Amino acid sequence: MKYTKFLFIAFIWVIGSALSIQAQDSTTAKSIFWEVTGPGVKKTTYLFGTHHLYDYGFIKTNKIILKKLKKADIVVGEIVIEPSAMMKVAMASIMPNKTLKQLMSEKDYQATDACLKKYTGMGIFLYNKFKPIAIYQMLMLQKYAKVLGMDLKKTGNSAMDEYFQKAARNLDKKLVALETVDDQLKVLYDGKPLDKQVDLLLEMVYDKDSLATKEIVKLNKMYQQQDLNGLHQLMKKTASEQELELLLVNRNKKWIPKIEELLKSGKSSFIAVGAGHLPGEFGVLHLLKQKGYKVKPLKIQL
C-alpha cells in the first residue's frame, strides 16, 4: 500500500505489576516494557518502547513505570534531548542551496501550499528552504493530531522520550545517549536523497486523509495493545529492506555494545527508545538474548 510508508517513518521518529507473560519466545509477548537481567548484571535494567506521537498520560497511571524510573541510576535515550540538540535539528532541516519550488512541479508546489495552509495555517513560502522530509514530519504530526482529536496547542509537541528525560533531570539522574545527534540526523534527515524526500512528502500531501487516517488508527491500536510483533510486521510491509537496514538494523547493532556497558556497569538503567527498535530478528530484545541476557515483559495498561 503506497501511502502506508509514512507509518514506518512515524514509528521510528520520530516511543501494573511486574508479571511475566509466558510464551515460547518471550520477545513476542505483548508488552512495551521489559526488564533485562543475566550474567554480569548486578542491577536490573529496564527497556521501554516509546511511540513518539502517542499520548503519554498512561505513564502516570502505571505506578510500576515511575517506580522503576525512580529506582534507576541512569536514564538512557536514543539521543539526549537538550537545546543544543534541537538547534542542530533545526539547522539540519534547512537546504543550503535548494528550494522546494526548484524541487517540485508547479502543480505539486501549489498542492503542498494548500496542504500546509490547511494543517498549519501557514503557506509553503515560509517553508521553502526546508528539506522535504522536515515538512513531511510536520504534516504527519498535524494529521496525526487531527485523526486522534489531539489539540497540539494544549498538549504541546513534546514526546514520550522527552517526558522521560525531563523526569530524569527532575530526579537528578544521569542522562546517557545511545547515539549522537549527528548520527541520528544523518539517518533521519539525509538518509534519503532530496528527490525521494519529495516523493514521500507528496504521498502525504495527496493522501487526502483517507488511507492515512486508517493506518494511523491501526498503528495507534497496535501500540495500545502493546503488539510489538504486529508493529514489526507492519514495518516490514511498509518499508524496503534498505530502509529497515538504515533506520533500524544498523542502529540496533551499534546500540548493543553500549547497552552491554550499561548492563555491566553495576548500575541500573532505564532505557527508552522507539518501540520499533525492540522486536524482530535484529531487534534489541532478540540481540540481547543472543548475547545471553534474559528479557522479561512487564505488565502495564495503556
Q: Is residue 214 part of a domain?
A: yes
Total structural domains in the chain? 1
280 lies in which domain range? 2-297
Query: Quick check: 52 pLDDT over 90?
Result: no
Residue 217 has pLDDT above 80, yes or no: no
Q: How many whole angstroms from its chain centre is CA 39?
A: 29
Q: What is the pLDDT of residue 10?
A: 47
pLDDT range class, residue 254, cuts 50, 70, 90: very high
67 Cβ neighbours under 8 A, 6+ residues apart: none
Query: Per-residue confidence at 143, pLDDT binned at 50, 70, 90?
Result: confident
pLDDT score recorded for residue 185? 87
For residue 232, pLDDT over 90 is answered with: no
* Residues 6+ positions from 136 with CB-CB distance below 8 Å: 6, 9, 197, 200, 201, 204
- In a domain? residue 64: yes
Asked if 269 contacts 164 with a C-beta cutoff of 8 angstroms, the reply is no
pLDDT value of residue 40: 92
pLDDT of 234-243, one tens digit each? 888 777 788 8
Q: What pLDDT score does 147 carry?
A: 73
Phi, psi angles (nearest 5°) of residue 165 = -75, -35
In whole angstroms, give the CA distance from residue 168 to residue 72.
Answer: 9
- Over residues 162-171, the mean pLDDT reads 94
- Pairwise CA distance, residues 273 & 52, whole Å: 9
Phi, psi dihedrals of residue 49, rounded to the nearest 5°: -90, 115
- Alpha-carbon span 288 to 292, nearest angstrom: 7
**pLDDT reading at 272 higher than 90:** yes
- In this structure, is residue 20 part of a structural domain? yes
Please report whether residue 302 resides in a domain.
no
Q: What is the mean pLDDT of residues 242-265?
A: 93
Does 104 map to a domain? yes
Parallel, antiparallel or unpaired: strands 74-77 and 45-50 = unpaired
Question: pTM of the entire structure?
Answer: 0.85
- Is the pLDDT at 12 greater than 60, yes or no? no
Model pLDDT, residue 8: 46
Backbone angles phi, psi at 57, to 5 degrees: -60, -25
Give the mean model confidence (pLDDT) for residues 122-128.
Answer: 93
71 is a domain residue: yes
Where is 158: in which H helix or E strand?
A: none
